[in-house]
A and B are shown apart, each in its own frame.
Chain A
């Protein structure tokens, strides 16, 4: 692959590499600094935050709990005490505000693994989707985790969940958990393009459902400027979410990317050389206002 046909090449040429990777870098900083804050304790003895992504205690007072684990626990037959429930409600409220799958792209450590896998897949020039999964597969797996929890009276999914496994492994000792991480990496490289995060992971399904009505959204507000370069489709981990907004396919002609599957990773904003995409709230359905304003200012 030559640099000129790489997605975002135009953007890099016009705005510079840094601008074309602005949000990506911010995401990496977010993912790594959250892990870093957790690691400060065991590595340096600075206990800013304790625990892991399943439940954590920040500054000795703020408990945050993963609502998906809480849901599994509920299905397994345990009603948690108020500390955990409050923690889960805070997390729930946060992601309903900023977008459910912000968890996937800004927090989840597996995202770094699967992004790396996708990068390698491109470098190895592996074409196509590879193994295809029905769009519904993830939802089936999500339902299965809850059913297994209720049948075995155990939070069974957490036995193999690579998301919590990686965090727990880094913070408390890995065991052979790295095998699961490696398996997902290889799966995404050789078997199925973005197979894990986009098709199978039930954590992503949960947060996607949570985020289907979330406030913060990416909008294709300046879609009139789109020159069909397809770069956004190439970099997007869930390309199907862009089309309805960009190509005016919804009944209300809404430029917002409305699917809960959108992770708000903002790679589309990074690579688009026409400034089509931007962050906004779900209440802002203005179309091309940017342009109109610009035209008013510079006639």
Chain B
């Protein structure tokens, strides 16, 4: 090899390395941006609900190819695709319950339309769908919480008496009425959003949110005594000692029954202290 060609070779190598480094840097920066954008975009806004059978959000982003076939097969135009620049991951399906809720079709056409399995094909009963969870999020404005009988959310629920029940509570304000408290049960609620759609308030008091947001979780070691007692058939704390009330003479307490029971005590005509006797008479009157 001549000196000049060696020099040319060196230049080429240098050129090659610098070109490669330039490209690698540029593309890596682009990739970093893309990765960060995808991470940021993958946080679903709280009121965007995925279609029935959608995989968990982190899996969904890898499984959904953004073809929109579920949107096309939804007979109620419930589903929409996230748009570039919007809050929902670009091209992925969602719905806003307050706009158009899921009508819970029995044949679940959206799941059937999905070619990739992002909507789980094993979902064959729409009642098993867990799109989100309804939560009566604002007790201050909910009419039933004011003692009124609105309960539209309860009436419209496709799984009435399973997903939403009305729980009776004493209305202390009126003293003689009941509150009919709409109560959502997470073991039955599909998150279809019909309750949120139907709420008569200008801003719904009951809202459907992704289950992760709406649902709390009790610690695994928690045990509820009365449930454990029922399961075991007896108290787990032995022996089950009857509670002793430390009461004045002649007074008894019936827990869960009559309450405080005062026995009629023969009044001592003239006790050691006349004032005490007088007070006792006054109290009995």
Contact = CB atoms under 8 A, between A and B. Distances in A.
Among A52, A83, A140, A159, max chain B CB count under 10 A is at A159
A118 interface: no
B35 A165 contact: no
A54 B38 contact: no
Interface of B: 19-20, 22-24, 26-28, 30-31, 34-35, 37-39, 41-42, 58-59, 61-69, 71-73, 80-81, 83-86, 89-91, 113, 115-118, 121
A41 interface: yes
Interface string A120-137: 000000000000011011
Among B19, B35, B67, max chain A CB count under 10 A is at B67
A113 interface: no
Given A65-B67, A159-B90, 5 more contacts: A51-B72, A78-B116, A136-B20, A155-B61, A174-B84
Contacts of A180: 84
A78 B59 contact: yes
Interface stretch (A68-76, A190-198, A264-272): A68-76
Among A70, A78, A134, max chain B CB count under 10 A is at A78
A152 B116 contact: no
Contacts of A141: 27, 30
B63 A80 contact: yes
B83 A177 contact: yes
Nearest to B31: A144
Contacts of B61: 76, 152-155
User: Chain B at the A interface: mostly helix, strand, loop or mixed?
Assistant: helix
A84 to B, nearest CB: 4
A73 B58 contact: no
A205 B115 CA distance: 25
Given A73-B116, A151-B35, A177-B84, A144 B27 contact: yes
Nearest to B90: A159
Nearest to B120: A81
7 contacts: A80-B117, A154-B39, A158-B91, A173-B81, A175-B85, A177-B83, A177-B90
Interface in A135-153: 136-137, 140-141, 144-145, 147-149, 151-153
A81 B121 contact: yes
Nearest to A65: B115
